[in-house]
Structure 1
Amino acid sequence: MEPSEVMRVNRALNKMSKLYRAAKARKLAALGLHPGQDVLLWLLAQERDGMTVSELAARLGVEPPTATRSLARLESGGWFRREPVPTDRRQVRIVVTAAGRELVPDIERAWAELAEYAVGGVSPEHREIAISALEQANDRLRTLVGEGPLTEE
């Protein structure tokens, strides 16, 4: 890659990351959430019976203490409850409440609006090229940081 292209790639990715996070933060603030909490709540809502903190951490790709801190910040919203795991008194299951489930369509709507705003004006062909390029870049970066490519997100 030419040095000028290297600078363009770095500048574009850094700027997009910052702008997307800021735009997402604004959308989520209207729901009473911060970036990252949307994904956590959405993942929890996918499991009717909930999941343990360890399972949630694994799905998020973080360590259990990080998931625990994220849950603590979310807890005041009443979007989930903790239930004991009958077979292991050291564990609890995190189960989304009705209030949490009601928030999921709003989260998905915020994601859709962000995606539309970011690339909705791009032709379908160019959008597919951009998304494929970003997915390949993510896979390569995961390998670089030792996570390996994901098969499902």
Structure 2
Amino acid sequence: MCEKRIGTELGMLGNLLKRQMVCTTGKDELANITGMQAMILWFLMQAKEARFQRDVETHFRIRRSTATGILNLMEDHGLLRREPVEQDRRLKRLVLTDRAKALYERIHQAMAQTEALMEEGIDPEDLAVWFRVCEKIRANLENYQCKASEGQG
């Protein structure tokens, strides 16, 4: 009998989620937006205050180089622009373009539809347990990452 592994299950869920988002968004303009770009777009649309690259890095727990690459692509595709902040010209506020705002509702609908599909038939208590377990797994991985990087001077 095959032993179940958390990493394997998460990888398979990630692949299925990506495929489902492609099915949900279709083959039009949304098809060129990756799942991560859609999540960043959603994150920026929800913001009540200015957001910066470091906010994206922290929220999505991604490295600076990863965030830079994704945000550069989003800028190249006309989804956002970086505007200097008056108090500190080195800081660049992330501002969504009109194109991104126009796509937002469709992205929001696709994400809501996919969330509903994933939750289908799952007891809310089971879902709450799943989120608690995910938080613990995330904390375990983050704690290890910190310890591992400390030793690598």
Same fold (TM over 0.5): yes
State the Cα distance separating 1:116 from its structure 2 match.
2.0
SS at match of 1:51: coil
Identity of aligned residues (%): 24
- Please show how residues 1-153 of structure 1 align to structure 2 within 5 Å: 7-10=3-6, 11-28=8-25, 30=27, 31=30, 32-47=32-47, 50-146=50-146
Flag the 1:121–1:28 CA change in 2: closer, same or farther, 3 A: same
Flag the 1:13–1:86 CA change in 2: closer, same or farther, 3 A: closer
Runs of at least 5 residues in structure 1 that lack an aligned partner in the other structure: 148-153
State the Cα distance separating 1:142 from its structure 2 match.
2.9
Deviates more, 1:88-97 or 1:27-36: 27-36
Deviates more, 1:22-31 or 1:75-84: 22-31
Deviates more, 1:44-53 or 1:70-79: 44-53
- The number of equivalent residue pairs is 143
Instruction: Write the deviation string for residues 46-74 of structure 1: whole angstroms up to 9, x where unpaired.
Output: 33553333343333323333222111211
State the Cα distance separating 1:39 from its structure 2 match.
1.7
State the Cα distance separating 1:97 from its structure 2 match.
2.5
Is contact 1:52–1:92 with CA below 8 Å preserved after alignment? yes
After TM superposition, the score normalised by the length of structure 2 is 0.70
Is contact 1:85–1:91 with CA below 8 Å preserved after alignment? yes
**Distance in 1 of aligned mates of 2:53 and 2:126:** 39
Flag the 1:117–1:78 CA change in 2: closer, same or farther, 3 A: same
**Distance in 2 of aligned mates of 1:72 and 1:65:** 10
- Aligned letter for 1:67? A
**Distance in 1 of aligned mates of 2:25 and 2:145:** 28
SS at match of 1:8: coil
State the Cα distance separating 1:95 from its structure 2 match.
0.9
Runs of at least 5 residues in structure 2 that lack an aligned partner in the other structure: 148-153
- Aligned letter for 2:65? P
SS at match of 1:18: helix
